[in-house]
Amino acid sequence: MDSVDFDALEGQAREKMPPASFAFCAAGADDEISAVENIAAWRALRLRPRVLNDVATIDTGVTLLGDRQPHPIMIAPMGRHKLFSVEGECATARGAAKASAPYVVASNANRTIEDIAAERRGAPQWFQLYYWPNSREVEALMDRAAAAGFSALVLTVDAPTGGWSPRAAREQHEPSPDILNINMPGSPMARTFYHPDFAGKVLYPATWRELEWLGKRSPMPVIVKGVLRADDAVRCAECGARAIIVSNHGGRHLDTTVTTAAAIGEVAAALAGKAEVYVDGGIRRGTDILKALALGARAVLIGRPVLWGLSVQGADGVAAVIEHLRVELVRAMQLSGTASLRDIGPDLIAAN
């Protein structure tokens, strides 16, 4: 890959991907306001760096659900990686392992759980779950994920029905045997959420009742993804969630939500000591990661840039994207006088 300049990389990915794949990757709901504002919101925060601290050695190590990780950068769950690489999620998993990044594998993967697990090479893999109406099939799937060594279950709760994306609807990819949700036999999703057939249908009807049940039944710790409010986050923790991912799904479903940069502080404050907090949406720079950690996130997840890397250079492209962000994080920490994640707090962010 000749560049990890993300603007250039996105351009290369756009040239390489079939137009429908690029539309699926880039899509935000409606007017794409949240997708764009997520990025702008991190950029708009201003840092208050500390000086004269010893930053010769930087430690980006972090503990996630009791597991020590070398850095706080994870790969967000995203469906249908065969739209971006013939190897699909297996290439993503290899890239994640190379970059020592925990990889959250999507329910809507195009490779089997077991094939993806075979590429783990020591890096944690978590399984993202869409809760569809057949709870027997959901149970079987989560047991299968646990048996394959997945170490957490990430329940996505912000898309009971699909949002609408004019961009993705204009350029639908044709369903093919390759693009099936191979791990979800009962799921109706051979097409994307953005297909008109799904409009208005609640495909994933999880409620608080299902979360409580999952908290007891899941063989893996449960994480809830897609929370933007402190009250919901606290209730998730009370229902058994061990961690919360502050996310608006990259702006792909409900447009004009608060940005994740705006939501993370309130959620982190409410959850202190109750559950871990991670955040995604629009994180494109090491300084964005530093800001997310300063506002209370324990780790961040990266979405679209991973798919740009995957399409341009497969597993190596995925690894290069994560490694680039890690190097940027180290530099941002050195330049802000913070030698370890423990030193990163809200005082690093200017009030306005």
Ligand X SMILES: Cc1cc2nc3c(=O)[nH]c(=O)nc-3n(C[C@H](O)[C@H](O)[C@H](O)COP(=O)(O)O)c2cc1C
115-154 binders of ligand X (CB under 6 A): 128
H-type helices in the chain, by residue range?
Answer: 6-16, 19-26, 33-44, 89-98, 113-117, 135-147, 166-170, 208-217, 230-238, 260-271, 286-294, 304-335
Phi/psi for 88 (5° steps) reads 55, -140
Phi/psi for 280 (5° steps) reads -140, 170
Instruction: Choose the catalytic residue: 71, 81, 173, 249.
Output: 249
Q: Provide, rounded to whole angstroms, the least separation between the CB of residue 173 and ligand X.
A: 11
Given 55, 223, 302, 329, the residue binding ligand X (CB under 6 A): 302
90-119 binders of ligand X (CB under 6 A): 106, 108
Among residues 62, 102, 145, the alpha carbon closest in space to that of 318 is found at 102
* 162 sits near ligand X (criterion: CB under 6 A): no
- Closest to ligand X by CB, 78 or 220: 78
Between CA 302 and CA 38 the distance in angstroms is 12
289: tokens are 């990661």
179-218 binders of ligand X (CB under 6 A): none
State the maximum Cα–Cα separation within the chain, in Å, rounded to a whole number. 60
Between CA 192 and CA 215 the distance in angstroms is 28
Question: Three-state SS for 271?
Answer: helix
Q: Provide, rounded to whole angstroms, the least separation between the CB of residue 152 and ligand X.
A: 13
DSSP state of 164: -
Question: Three-state SS for 14?
Answer: helix
Q: Provide, rounded to whole angstroms, the least separation between the CB of residue 257 and ligand X.
A: 12
Please choose, out of 1-9, 48-56, 230-238, 249-257, the segment that lies near ligand X by the rule CB under 6 A. Answer: 249-257
- Closest to ligand X by CB, 10 or 316: 10
Given 85, 247, 257, 338, the residue binding ligand X (CB under 6 A): 247
Tell me if residue 249 is catalytic: yes
Q: Where does this chain bind ligand X (CB under 6 A)?
A: 24-25, 38, 76-79, 106, 108, 128, 156, 225, 247, 249-250, 252, 280-283, 302-304
Catalytic residues: 249
